[in-house]
Amino acid sequence: MNIHLIYGITFVVLLAMELAYFKVADHFNIIDKPNERSSHSTITLRGGGIIFLVGVWAWSLFFGFQYPWFLAGLTLVSGVSLVDDIHSLPDSVRLVIQFVAAVMAFYQLDILYWSMWWIILLALIVYVGATNVINFMDGINGITAGYSLAVLIPLALVNINGVFVEQSLIISTILASLVFCVFNFRPKGKAKCFAGDVGSIGIAFIILFLLGSVIIKTTDITWLIFLLVYGVDGCLTIAHRIMLHENLGEAHRKHAYQIMTNELKIGHVMVASLYMVMQLLISLGFIYLCPDTTPAHWMYLLGAFTILTVAYILFMKKYYHLHEEYLVSLKNNRYGNK
């Protein structure tokens, strides 16, 4: 069968499956109710990001089960995340499952060498940590699907002819992201569904597996630059919250993108597009403008990291006080209602 026809059929199947999930979610009341720390104000279906898992299963059915351990790990971590979307699970349970799934991905990547156990353990911690950072960044309409495209498209460009991983897997995941965009890449209050943990954790697991394939086969860790924008916002916000002695497990609105949408009232689609464009420009520059040498890659990565870090700090210095004012008003409202 013609490859383009297969992709066309895949897109239609994924679209139909997403619509079918909406009926299931509506029937079982799988919804996201806004609270004082949410960036949305209307009740919306949760878990639409299950389409990322469905996309990989569809790919496996059309192209053969080429990565069975990866598929098993993705199914496990996405399944538990879906359960967590419906009924909250203890953090310890979710973390254990994420580590087990990561081990499955590492087994698929053929990097479980017991003689290097401490390096493998560190890599597992980074894998699970990065998965959760990507999950933390899922807070406004369009940002998960849009940013995923900004990572997957450059990955597809460097993987032409399947040099590092099966190209059809990347294309199928792009199609799943496009389907999710149809229902989520919309202005505030207009989204049909949210990704939920099943979506943000699922797409993170997929992207990290794909990036891992490239890094292992090139022995060049600087390909992590494909996640730089999320990495800077996510990690620096975590560092900021640690400085404030906050419980990292509690919901918050301190990410730069959240301050843009909540305090500065910039539209969800605009902010999501900004993050998407920034990551695309950085990644495409890395692919096409940066010399293909290790020193050049590190200089480019450190330069881009420095620029984004400075931009983040300056942004917070100028606008974080608006969030503090919001917290004060929130506290006053609570006190006034008692």
pLDDT digits (tens, 9 = 90+) for 249-271: 888 999 999 999 999 999 999 99
User: pLDDT tens, 23-49?
Assistant: 999 989 998 876 555 565 578 999 999
Which are the contacts of 304, defined by CB distance < 8 A and separation ≥ 6? 225, 228, 282, 286
Confidence class of residue 144 from pLDDT cuts 50, 70 and 90? Answer: very high
Is 197 a known ligand-binding residue?
yes
58 burial (CB, 10 Å; 0-12 / 13-18 / 19+) is buried
Residue 32 annotated as binding?
A: no
Compute the distance between CA of residue 80 and CA of residue 53 in angstroms, rounded to an integer: 12
CB atoms within 10 A of CB 221: 14
Residue ranges making up the domain that contains 72: 3-336
Contacts of 147 by beta carbon, 8 Å cutoff, 6+ apart: 137, 229, 230, 272, 275, 276, 279
Q: What is the pTM of this model?
A: 0.94
* Distance of alpha carbon 53 from alpha carbon 68, whole angstroms: 13
Number of domains within the chain: 1
Name the average pLDDT for the chain. Answer: 94
